Every structure is written in C-alpha cells, then in structure tokens.
Amino acid sequence: MKCRICEKKATIKLPQYNLKLCDSCFLDFFKKRVKKTIDSFKMFSLYDDILIAVSGGKDSLVLWSVLSELGYRVSGLHIDLGIEGYSEFCKQKVLDFSESRGLPLKIIGIKEIFGVGIKELARIAKRASCRICGMIRRYLINREAKDFYCVVTGHTLDDEASSLLGNVIHWHVGFLKRQYPVLEENGSLKRKAKPFSFVFENEIVFYAKLKNIDFVRERCPLSKKATSYVYKSMFSFLEERMPHIKLSFYKEFLKRKNYFFSEEKEQLKECKICGYLTVTDICNFCKLKKKVEEYQFQKA
C-alpha cells in the first residue's frame, strides 16, 4: 500500500476518496481541505478574532489544533454542563489541551448560572436533556462571542449529513433552509461557521492520533437515546456500501438548496429580557431561568 502523493508507505486508507496516504501527506491533505472550506465559504480571515466552542470531544479539539496551526486567531470557550461523572472529565481534557498548547480558554459553568446542572434543568423544564442542552449552549456561545467576529464549531460532514437526513425524513423545512457551512450575522446572532463541514470523522480520528490529541471518548450519559445517533448509524451503514455518499448527498444539497428551499428571512425579534433574537417575546433561555427561579422558590 503506497501513498498516492509521495509513494512512500501509506498509513491510512480513505475509502471516501479512494485514497491511500502516508502520515505526512495526510496531515498536509487534511489541513489544505480545511483551509479550502474556510476560504471558499468566506468564513473568516487570518485577521479576525474567532471563538471556538470546545466540548472536549475529538471534533472541537482537532479543529482548535488545525486552526491554530493554520495561523488563525482562535480562543476557546468551554461550557461546563454540570453532568456528574462526565463534565469534570471533559473540562480537564480541554484544560490540558489549552495549557499544553498555550491557547487562550474561557470556561463557564451551567451550575453557576442556574444553580443546577443539565439533568436537573431538563427535569424542571420537562424537556429532553439534549434539547435543553443545545438551547443553552447556543445561547451562551452567542453571548460570549460578543467581541469576536465569528463562532466556529467542530460539526463534521458526518454531523451535517446525518442532521440533513433527519431534517429530510421529517421534512423540517425551517431547518433545511438554514443548513449551511456558514451562517451570516443576523442582528445580535453572531456569524457561525463550520470548517469541518466536508471532513469525515475517520480523518479527524487519524489526525488526533498523529498529533497526540487526547480527547473524551465516552458519549454523554444523557444522550443515550438521542435520535442523532440513529441517523448517524443509518448513514454509516450506507457509506460502507456506497463510499463517498455522505459527501455527495451534502454537496448536492448545498448546490440545490436555494432551488428547493428558498430562504425567507425569519421574523425575529429581541427578547424583552436579554435582547437575544427569538421568535417569541421572551427567549427560551430566559424562560428557563424564570422556571428554575419559580421552582427554587416553591421548594424553599
């Protein structure tokens, strides 16, 4: 097995591109693809301050590593979700990574804001924990990004393709209209970019291995029933039989998106409490805060 580029011994096989590469050519290939995505979608430049949301998982840590190597000005933001037996562990991985690379990091804790962690919040709000968690993270990341040009997240092609599949299977037109590698700033909603939109997870795992990036391998204990995993497994089943299908499904969607699902700007207004853009008078974050306060008051 020879490296397609330099003809030395290949160390990785990428069936999605029908490609075999050696360590050094892979690193080069990987970085070039990420750079190309950033440039072709005009995500941000080398002069912009960008904020990366890091969970401690492979995707966000590898993205942080690549963006720093490419010379971007990236600061990390970690949200401590307060999940017992899990969040402490995630925080430690992020801290270790930022310290060893000398990269700036800010940590904010859900418990410091609400007095309780995600699990309890979901119970109080009577909602699925993944839903509450997603809403809170989006809110806090946006709030913390106030002085940055752009927020970046480690969403991979596997995430994008499987969430696209889920949105198509349920014909969630609203989500289909908004799914894109970059979302422009909209009032108080910060610009968001996903530089890994065309990167497969197996590439990320290999990159992490070569760069000795230590990440959290365990799945969040609260997400065991998450439907996103069902779509991911479903798509991996297909990808095994039709390599490249994830990439072509997502790319073709992007090409035809405006034809199918023409974008109409949603009517958003400012939350009467915090000013966050929302479809109702009070945003979900502030509603949740109120609910928790009432709950604590009744308990006391």
Query: Contact between 173 and its own copies (CB under 8 A)?
Result: yes
CA distances from 202 to 13, 95, 98, 207, 212 (A): 10, 24, 23, 9, 15
Helix (H, G, I), strand (E, B) or coil at 236: helix
CB closer to its own copies, 238 vs 277: 238
Residue 252 sits in the site that holds its own copies (CB under 8 A): yes
Q: Does 237 bind its own copies (CB under 8 A)?
A: yes
Q: Which residues pair with 73 in a beta bridge?
A: 49
Q: Does 263 bind its own copies (CB under 8 A)?
A: no
Helices (H) and strands (E) in the chain, counts: 12, 10
Of the candidate residues 8, 9, 123, 256, the single one contacting its own copies (CB under 8 A): 256
Least Å distance, CB 134 to its own copies, is 19
Contact flag: residue 168 with its own copies (CB under 8 A) = yes
Rg (CA), the chain: 20
Kindly identify the residues of this chain, within the stretch 100-159, that bind its own copies according to CB under 8 A.
none
Nearer to its own copies, 234 or 273 (CB): 234
Least Å from the CB of residue 210 to its own copies:
32
Q: Is residue 230 involved in binding its own copies (CB under 8 A)? A: yes
Question: Shortest distance, CB of residue 126 to its own copies, whole angstroms?
Answer: 21
- Does residue number 219 form part of the binding site for its own copies (CB under 8 A)? no
- Minimum CB–partner distance for residue 153 and its own copies (Å): 25
Q: Using an 8 Å Cβ cutoff, are 193 and 182 in contact?
A: yes
Q: Does 245 participate in binding its own copies (rule CB under 8 A)?
A: yes
Token match 């970019």: residue?
193
Q: Which stretch binds its own copies (CB under 8 A): 103-111, 187-195, 253-261, 273-281?
A: 253-261
Q: Which residue, 175, 153, 160, is CA-closest to 74?
A: 153
Answer for which of 126, 146, 224, 241 binds its own copies (CB under 8 A) is 241
Which of 37-45, 91-99, 134-142, 232-240 is the region at the interface with its own copies (rule: CB under 8 A)? Answer: 232-240
CA distances from 45 to 5, 36, 53, 137, 150 (A): 29, 12, 18, 25, 10
Which of 85-100 are b and which e, b meaning 16 or more Cβ less than 10 Å from the residue's Cβ? ebbeebbebbeebbee
| Binding span for its own copies by CB under 8 A among 6-14, 46-54, 246-254, 281-289 | 246-254
Site string for its own copies, 7-36 (x = CB under 8 A): ------------------------------
Q: Which candidate, 232, 224, 143, places its Cα nearest to that of 190?
A: 143
> Alpha-carbon torsion 209, 213, 214, 218, what sign?
negative
Give the C-alpha separation, 256 to 126, whole Å: 38
| Residue matched to tokens 């949105």 | 167
Contact flag: residue 265 with its own copies (CB under 8 A): no
- DSSP 8-state assignment for residue 76: E
- Say whether residue 47 binds its own copies (CB under 8 A): no
Nearer to its own copies, 113 or 176 (CB): 176
Distance, in Å, from the CA atom of 178 to the CA atom of 171, rounded to the nearest integer, reads 13
Q: Which residues bind its own copies (CB under 8 A)?
A: 165, 168-171, 173, 227, 230-231, 233-234, 237-238, 241-242, 245, 248-249, 252-253, 256, 260-261
